[in-house]
């Protein structure tokens, strides 16, 4: 398994994401993904499928210790008491005594960041979490979080695909020893019809999805989350480590970024982006 190392964590370079995956599809797809060889599963309190992820892992036959399991604390649970209770509830749903990575899901200025980071450290100290990190944090927020945390942060999970330039966030994360975990990699399906990506895919005899995932994992320190409810596509998405893009092809994909490329920016949650 290809891994990304960051501040003491070894994170499988491709993970199976469960955002917008129904409970029924989660029960079906997570064991299939694990059978294919995925060893990184990503969920969140707000996804409403932690219990199904836990049941699917338990039924998969793959030892829990072989799986890198990530979940995220929702913003309304950031006050310390609610945070600690929510983590216990997540562990109960996930049928495990720890998660490998726990993230703050979005910035929330209503609760002091020091309180949020303090709670992350508290559950890590208690052995309920192996590693901690953030999601959807700007470079400034990420820098502040790093300073506030006793334990090292290991990732910032952000929207990352060919149409958005996240070079500032990636550079800041690398400088602090963090990885960047990419979500929404297919840009809500927009990449699939892109002529540049189609040409590169044809040259390699691969799908556009494989090219885009390869573009992510070929960048140092980047982890890709792949989400699908199709067994065939899951197999395809996992098969990205037996080919490589040239430097010219990598640059051509990166050159697709545009100023209006961001797709995920929910009102009331999104910070002032970099």
Provide the annotated binding site for substrate.
105
Tokens of 217: 């994992």
By annotation, the residues acting in catalysis are 47
- Select from 230, 200, 274 the least CA-distant residue to 33: 230
Q: Give how far Cα 118 sits from Cα of 47, 53, 78, 112, Å.
A: 24, 27, 10, 10
Q: Give how far Cα 76 sits from Cα of 4, 15, 72, 106, 133, Å.
A: 30, 26, 12, 10, 17
Distance CA 252, CA 59 (A): 42
Distance CA 215, CA 187 (A): 14
H or E element in which residue 190 lies = none
Q: Phi then psi for 70, rounded to 5 degrees? A: -115, 135
State the residue for tokens 């002091």.
112
State the residue for tokens 């979080």.
145
- Select from 61, 21, 13 the least CA-distant residue to 40: 13
Q: Where are the alpha helices (DSSP H) in 80-194?
A: 80-94, 113-125, 139-148, 167-175
User: 12 and 35 in contact (C-beta within 8 Å)?
Assistant: no
């Amino acid at each position: 398994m290809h891994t990304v190392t960051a501040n003491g964590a070894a994170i499988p370079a491709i993970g199976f994401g469960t955002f917008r995956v129904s409970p029924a599809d989660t029960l079906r797809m997570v064991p299939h993904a694990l059978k294919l060889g995925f060893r990184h599963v990503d969920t969140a309190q707000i996804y409403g499928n932690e219990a199904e992820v836990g049941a699917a892992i338990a039924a998969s036959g793959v030892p829990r210790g072989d799986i890198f399991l990530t979940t995220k604390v929702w913003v309304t649970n950031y006050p310390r008491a609610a945070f600690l209770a929510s983590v216990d509830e997540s562990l109960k749903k996930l049928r495990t005594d720890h998660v490998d990575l726990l993230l703050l899901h979005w910035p929330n200025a209503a609760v002091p960041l020091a309180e949020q980071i303090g709670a992350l450290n508290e559950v890590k100290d208690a052995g309920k979490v192996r590693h901690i990190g953030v999601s959807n944090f700007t470079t400034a927020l990420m820098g502040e979080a790093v300073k506030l945390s006793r334990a090292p942060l290991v990732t910032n999970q952000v929207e990352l695909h060919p149409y958005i330039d996240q070079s500032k966030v990636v550079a800041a994360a690398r400088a602090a020893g963090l990885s960047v975990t990419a979500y929404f990699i297919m840009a809500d399906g927009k990449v699939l019809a892109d002529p540049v990506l189609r040409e590169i895919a044809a040259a390699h005899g691969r799908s556009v999805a494989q090219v885009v995932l390869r573009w992510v994992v070929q960048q140092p320190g980047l982890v890709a989350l792949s989400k699908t409810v199709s067994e065939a596509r899951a197999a395809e998405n996992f098969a990205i480590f037996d080919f490589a893009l040239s430097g010219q092809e990598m640059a051509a994909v990166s050159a697709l970024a545009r100023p209006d490329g961001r797709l995920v920016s929910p009102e009331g949650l999104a910070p002032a982006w970099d």
